[in-house]
Structure 1
């Protein structure tokens, strides 16, 4: 993978909960059981540092605005936080390779992590599987033989449920034969956190994410909500008030084709999901979170 051969980035190493640290430095990053940082000054080597994967506490969280770092990616290792970001000069930095690198970090953390699954049938027990990543945004749960059990990108609804002595994520997802359900139990807390962070970064927030992230308030706080236009907001609010999606064009005095185009945009943003043919849609938990955030920001400004 290109990222494993090295990626050029700006780097800042912060310490303590206050995230106080030094200035940005140039560095070459590579993966080798962790993240190896080779600092560069005036084009020459200027020392190096190493951050082990085994020490990662959290990653992909929002960094303080005073760092002035667009597209920054932060990883917390105990009492140190590594913040990396691409620079502006396309002759030196590659945003594509930077994204490859951040994805490779997640892949190294998630690949092979244990997971249990159950289809909900009486008389059957939990199957044992593991997580696998086959591409950007393509996180799978596979069975003991490597056969896919669940693609997280196929999920349309999700909740947290208790099954016996296990806390599990309950998923409804699309399959070639229709909609099916599966319970997923991730025994390690860190795995659950890393999966949520992965979905937030590489699946556009995943419309169902707020329903399974209550265990991690910091994830809920950091969920990146897609921007919506005034027109999209009007349609969302109408749907959330209970208006039938087939009657909405008449209620809002809009052409059906125009409303369907708005539905398509909101589906792509993870704010609506299809629940039937002929554009039968309903808002996702992410839509509710988006509108609540807008209301909260309006209250603060008021």
Structure 2
């Protein structure tokens, strides 16, 4: 493996929870080294060394969306290769996960439709080839037409994975809601091998879970939120909702603190974050 290069080498803990398709009883976490290259994930302990070829990894689930009820460690990710599943808990899980997703996805070619939906309106856009670029907390998609689509994980509002028709074939499609440079809600569709879509889904769902719609808003706060979602300029909100400027700015401050709004450079110029878009979308769906 002359082109193999090291990406991470740290201490950690790990355990195999599924072996040959069967759940393992009497789990015992092992301590040792967790090594990652652009080719392999290596789990080394006093009991031996397990090497996992990245090309054979079919799914990755991080500690925020993994279904395993494991409390022996505070942070971990699961890796499935064939009919085996391992849980891995590196010392610095955030940095290690970034290296892992980069090794698994960076440079891979997928099909992209962007924007498939813009401002709630379905666009007549063709599928194009695109190349994945993984940076810190950002998924980039370099599309053949020349555009570069950036999806910030903290800006992801909703994620859906389904089967769909792509260029005449039934394929797995990942639908990701986020905003463009102007702050407009858009959906980017991504398709590829089931492996690529599964791993990419795990990555972007980190942002979706961070933006869960669990805020407790009162009536006036909801009115301001819905006005922003409807496209009313932040500067026109006081007149639109019939409130004085100071009261509206106090609501802006509260919504910024809740992670629902993002404050821009100018005072009272704000933009809905993914969490705010989800709340407004839920309200509209219930009407």
State the match for 2:249 in structure 1. 257
Give the Cα–Cα distance (whole angstroms) in 1 for the partners of residues 35 and 151 of structure 2: 28
Superposition pairs of residues 150-299 of structure 1, within 5 angstroms = 150-153=149-152, 165=168, 169=175, 173-175=179-181, 179=184, 184-201=189-206, 204-205=207-208, 223=209, 232-235=215-218, 239=222, 244=227, 246=237, 255-266=247-258, 268=259, 271=260, 278-279=269-270, 281=272, 283-285=276-278
Q: CA contact under 8 A between 1:156 and 1:174: conserved in structure 2?
A: no
TM-score between both structures, scaled by the size of structure 2: 0.64
The CA distance in 2 between the partners of 1:109 and 1:187, in whole Å, is: 14
Q: How many equivalent pairs are there?
A: 242
1:143 and 2:126 equivalent?
no
Q: Could you tell me how far apart the structure 2 residues matched to 1:181 and 1:125 are?
A: 16
> Take 1:140 and 1:242, find their aligned partners in 2: how far apart are those partners?
29
Task: Answer yes or no: is the 8 Å Cα contact 1:225–1:286 preserved in 2.
Answer: no
- Most deviating of 29-38 and 280-289: 280-289
Once the two structures are overlaid, the 10-residue window that deviates more, 25-34 or 280-289, is 280-289
Distance 1:55 1:236 in 2: 51
Aligned to 2:58: 57
Q: Which of 6, 10, 25 is the matching residue for 1:7?
A: 10
SS in 2 for 1:107: helix
Contact 2:176 2:187 in 1 (8 A): yes
Report the TM-score when normalising by structure 1. Answer: 0.61
Q: Distance in 2 between matches of 1:159 and 1:70?
A: 25
| Equivalent position of 2:73 in the other structure | 69
Q: CA RMSD in A?
A: 4.4
1:120-148 alpha-carbon deviations (Å, 9 max, x no partner):
79998543221111x22121001359x65
Other structure's SS at 2:254 match: helix
Q: Which structure 2 residues correspond to residues 55-134 of structure 1 after superposition, within 5 A?
A: 55-60=56-61, 61-86=65-90, 93=91, 95=92, 98-118=93-113, 125-133=126-134
Cα distance between partner residues in 1 of 2:159 and 2:203:
18
CA drift at 1:225: 5.8
Specify the SS of the correspondent of 2:7: helix
Structure 2 distance, partners of 1:141, 1:194, is 15
**1: CA distance between counterparts of 2:98 and 2:156?**
23
CA distance in 2, matches of 1:234, 1:197: 29
SS at match of 1:4: strand
Q: What are the ranges of 5 or more consecutive residues in structure 1 without an aligned counterpart?
A: 41-45, 87-92, 206-222, 290-302
The 3-state SS of whatever aligns with 1:38 is strand
Distance in 2 of aligned mates of 1:261 and 1:120:
31
Shift of residue 112, structure 1, vs aligned partner = 2.1
Deviation by residue 1:78-101 (Cα, 9 ceiling, x = unmatched): 322211224xxxxxx4x3xx3222
Query: Aligned with 2:52: secondary structure?
Result: strand
Q: State how far apart, in whole Å, the 2-side matches of 1:262 and 1:181 are.
A: 26
How far off its partner does 1:105 sit? 1.1
Alpha-carbon distance between aligned partners in 1 of 2:241 and 2:36, rounded to the nearest angstrom = 52
